[in-house]
Structure 1
Amino acid sequence: MSTQRDIHVEANGHVTTIEIRRPPLNFFDVVLIKDIADALDAIDADANCRAVVLAAQGKAFCAGADFSNAPATANRTRGGNELYVEAVRIYRNRKPIVAAVQGAAIGGGLGLAISADFRVTCPEARFAANFTKLGFHPGFGLTTALPELIGKNNAELMFYTSRRVTGEDALRMGLANLCVPQDQVRDEAMKLASEIAECSPLGLLSTRATMRAGLADRIAAATDHELQEQNRLRDTEDFKEGVKATAERRVANFKGR
């Protein structure tokens, strides 16, 4: 068992849980994503662990980046692509991950949920790639990971509308694997991870490596392009208006400049 500033890691038999502890919304930044990547590296080195549950305290699974602090967010993502370097590290981990999505997974938080192999969710959860509503471009490798998971046209629908997808709809479109009552999400994620952990650890590592072959490299290429577009759009009037409108809970008045 170990606790860093914003995550808690605990082993239970052959399953290790990584819990995000930034309630209620669990906004992410470079520090949080690096902590998760570091924890996954340690789990890869632990022969006793065969599967991982990625969970979160609070109302949301991860509400993405905190754009109410847009200048700091900009600084964290511009120089050296630090955030996406850490995101790609998560994709390079070797052991199966089950995400327990008990609430909102928004923007980059959706990207974090999709980096897992499986997602257990509930009717109350909401999944959204809300970037275009912010006047922004998708990130966290979502332009590759989301269409590979739910199909190109479903991904386009989520990107172009920025709509919020319910837990039931996520199950129907293949974005989630299980949809259960909210108070059962963590337990069901643990059950799935435990079922995985009953299998041969060598067989699991070998099969997962085959199934995810080249995925991390595709995510790395995607994040390179995504960051270029995000940095370009970050300086536009539309991005400033999108962030302001979201904070004020109103429809944005975009000008296309």
Structure 2
Amino acid sequence: MTSSPIVAITEPAAGVALVTMQDRIHKNAFTDALIAELTRAFAALGTRADLKTVVLTGYDNYFSSGGTQEGLRDLFDGKFVFTDRDLYSVALNCPIPVIAAMQGHGIGGGFVMGLFADIVILARESVYTANFMRYGFTPGMGSTFIVPEKLGIALAGEMMLSAANYRGEELQRRGVPFAVLPRDQVLMHALELARSLAQKPRMSLVALKDHLAAPLRQKLPAFIEQEVALHALTFQQPEVRERIETLFGQ
């Protein structure tokens, strides 16, 4: 299987593809290169008749750190909208089940991308945040849909409004419906689940995923449209540009 320096693709078991984001320079931020490689990987893997599941993970203590500072500047300047770079729905639209082994920090869009997987596993030590409002603009990438859908409306509202950081162990105490394990056990658990899925007929897996994902796929576009409209409103504030320049990476 073809890999790139920032996205490694291996097959640790029959029927299982492991996609590892490993852009250490940018901490798996959404650079143009990472977006292109991940999109290409999922497009290719989804057509493989011999594959039954995909595991998506990061490296060391990073799953994905979300948008880059340059990307946020471009959003502020109106050079693109987040729908131009649709990374958020690659897991949702993959025909076979996707397991997000979020062993490392999931920041902003990086956290949201993981939540679009069919099965999510978090690490007790890692930080997860929907931190869009930290910079003064409203959440995008389908956050206002998938975060409440997966975490519940109360916790999701708190996360998005406060833009606070949450350790996996705190989210576990708050009742998130995911496995939350020590970091060094996350990928191992994900691969065990993947091997279990790979024992099932591919046609049945595809049919069931399509059935389970159908309501999400149907509802998501309306939320995306609303988020784009909110971005057009909230990105226009000078305070947003100032926050992007002064708070990014802190």
| Corresponding residue number in structure 2 for 1:61 | 63
Tell which deviates more after alignment, 196-205 or 26-35.
26-35
Counterpart Cα distance in 2 of 1:70 and 1:205: 36
Partner of 1:252: none
Structure 2 Cα separation of the partners of residues 201 and 76 of structure 1: 43
**What is the aligned partner in structure 1 of residue 9 from structure 2?**
9
1:33–1:87 Cα contact (<8 Å) kept? no
After the TM superposition, which residues 97-136 of structure 1 pair with which residues of structure 2 at under 5 Å, given as runs? 97-136=98-137
Contact persistence 2:102–2:123 (CA under 8 A): yes
**Are the equivalent residues in 2 in contact too, given 1:76–1:83 (CA < 8 A)?**
no
Deviations 1:42-94 (Å, cap 9, x if unpaired)?
2221121111110112431111112266434557962683113x433442111
What is aligned with 1:40?
A: 42
In 1: Cα distance, 2:71 partner to 2:36 partner: 19
**C-alpha distance in 1, partners of 2:118/2:174?**
15
User: Residue 10 of structure 1: CA displacement?
Assistant: 1.3
Question: 3-state DSSP class of the match of 2:64?
Answer: coil
Q: Using a 3 Å threshold, how does the CA distance of structure 1 residues 171 and 95 change in structure 2: closer, same or farther?
A: farther
- Structure 1, unmatched stretches of 5+, are 250-257
Structure 1 residues 146-155 or 32-41, which shifts more? 32-41
In 2, Cα distance between equivalents of 1:175 and 1:28:
26
Is contact 2:134–2:163 with CA below 8 Å preserved after alignment?
yes
Match of 1:186 in 2: 187
Aligned to 2:161: 160
Task: Verify the 8 A CA contact 1:170 1:176 in the aligned structure 2.
Answer: no
SS in 1 for 2:120: strand
Helix, strand or coil for the counterpart of 1:136?
coil
> May I ask how many residue pairs the two structures share in their alignment?
248
Q: Which runs of 5+ in 2 are unaligned?
A: none
Over 3 Å counting, the alpha-carbon distance change for 1:76 and 1:192 in structure 2 is: farther
Paired position in structure 2 for 1:198: 199
Distance change in 2, residues 1:17/1:248 (3 Å): closer
Percent sequence identity over aligned pairs: 23
Distance 1:209 1:105 in 2: 26
Which residue of structure 1 aligns with residue 51 of structure 2? 49
Secondary structure in 2 matching 1:163: coil
RMSD: 2.4
> CA offsets per residue over residues 85-131 of structure 1, 9 Å max, x none?
x4334421111111111221111001111111122222211110111
CA distance in 2, matches of 1:72, 1:6: 23
What one-letter code is carried by the residue in structure 2 that aligns with 1:188? H
User: Taking structure 1 as reference, are residues 108 and 248 closer, same or farther at Cα in structure 2, changes over 3 Å only?
Assistant: closer
Question: TM-score normalised to the size of structure 1?
Answer: 0.86
Q: Could you tell me which amino acid in structure 1 is paired with residue 2 of structure 2?
A: S
Name the residue aligned to 1:237: 238
Q: Which consecutive segments of 4 or more residues in structure 1 shift more than 6 A?
A: none
Residue 218 of structure 1 deviates from its aligned partner by 2.4
The residue identity in structure 2 corresponding to 1:63 is: S
